[in-house]
């Protein structure tokens, strides 16, 4: 196979989806091609990040005791008329607590659904023969990969172990065409799970991808500082 044909098989190789002669050809090529070897490593690291998964939503500790105590207060209020006011107050307090918990759990579940959707999109890209991967490097420590499929115009920034940019700041992703960077979204790192930032674009237009630190919450229309991480595409 030619170099370009090998590149078209790298995503499948990273997923251990090749066998027989095709796998041997790819492995022989990797032994002599640092470019493809680096791309396979980036793809495999992106696959490994999916194992982090999404943690289950657990109700806050003490919720059960709070509910039971409030219910007992309500029952006591029914049996003892002079404690009705206290019982009603407890019921009102319980309603407020449950409303707050419901909102918190709803937001957490919505975030998990978005995470799962992003993971499914990443897996679909990795299964594509035209998938590519770039490792971003620079002045901050972290594991940052950009996986993209130029044929489908879909991409995904995959981030772990990246330090917090500081209060009032976010990381902003840029797609760079010549000297013209275009914003592709903002994010903040998460300490307990990968950050997956989907990107839709015509990647054939761009020669590089970069990340800078910008003001929260929405970032900037143009970079205000030098990139802290970057890679060619």
Q: Where are the domains of the chain?
A: 63-121
User: Per-residue pLDDT tens for 92-106?
Assistant: 555 565 555 555 555
pTM of the model: 0.62
Q: What per-residue confidence (pLDDT) applies to 54?
A: 46
Residues 124-135, mean pLDDT to the nearest whole number: 84
Q: How far is CA 82 from the centre of its chain?
A: 55
Contact present, 172 and 211 (Cβ < 8 Å): yes
Q: Give the span between the Cα atoms of 158 and 139, in whole angstroms.
A: 18
The mean-pLDDT minimum among 122-136, 144-158, 193-207 falls in 122-136
Sign of CA dihedral 56, 60, 62, 65: negative
Other beta carbons less than 10 A from residue 49's beta carbon? 21
Q: What per-residue confidence (pLDDT) applies to 167?
A: 92
Note the helical H segments in the chain. 3-7, 10-14, 20-30, 34-49, 63-79, 84-126
The mean-pLDDT minimum among 35-44, 55-64, 91-100, 213-222 falls in 55-64
When pLDDT is cut at 50, 70 and 90, the band that residue 43 belongs to is confident
> In the numeric block, which tokens belong to residue 125?
């890209």
Q: What per-residue confidence (pLDDT) applies to 80?
A: 44
Contact present, 9 and 129 (Cβ < 8 Å): yes
Dihedral in degrees, nearest 10, Cα atoms 200, 201, 203, 207: -110
The angle subtended at Cα 112 by Cα 119 and Cα 220, nearest 5°, is 80
């Amino acid at each position: 196979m030619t170099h370009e044909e090998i590149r078209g098989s790298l995503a499948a190789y990273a997923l251990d989806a090749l066998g027989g002669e095709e796998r041997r050809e790819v492995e022989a090529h990797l032994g002599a091609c640092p470019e493809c070897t680096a791309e396979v490593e980036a793809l495999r690291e992106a696959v490994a990040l999916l194992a982090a998964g999404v943690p289950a939503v657990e109700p806050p500790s003490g919720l059960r005791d709070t509910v039971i105590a409030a219910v007992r207060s309500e029952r006591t209020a029914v049996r003892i008329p002079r404690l009705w006011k206290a019982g009603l107050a407890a019921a009102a307090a319980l309603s407020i607590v449950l409303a707050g918990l419901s909102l918190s759990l709803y937001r957490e579940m919505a975030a998990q659904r978005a995470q799962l959707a992003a993971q499914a999109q990443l897996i679909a890209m990795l299964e594509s023969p035209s998938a590519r991967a770039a490792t971003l490097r620079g002045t901050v420590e972290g594991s940052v990969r950009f996986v993209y499929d130029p044929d489908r115009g879909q991409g995904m920034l995959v981030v772990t172990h990246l330090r917090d940019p500081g209060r009032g700041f976010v990381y902003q992703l840029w797609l760079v065409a010549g000297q013209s960077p275009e914003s592709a979204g903002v994010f903040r790192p998460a300490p307990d799970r990968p950050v997956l930032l989907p990107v839709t674009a015509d990647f054939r237009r761009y020669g590089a991808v970069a990340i800078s630190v910008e003001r929260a919450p929405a970032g900037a229309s143009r970079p205000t500082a030098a990139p802290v991480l970057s890679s060619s595409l």
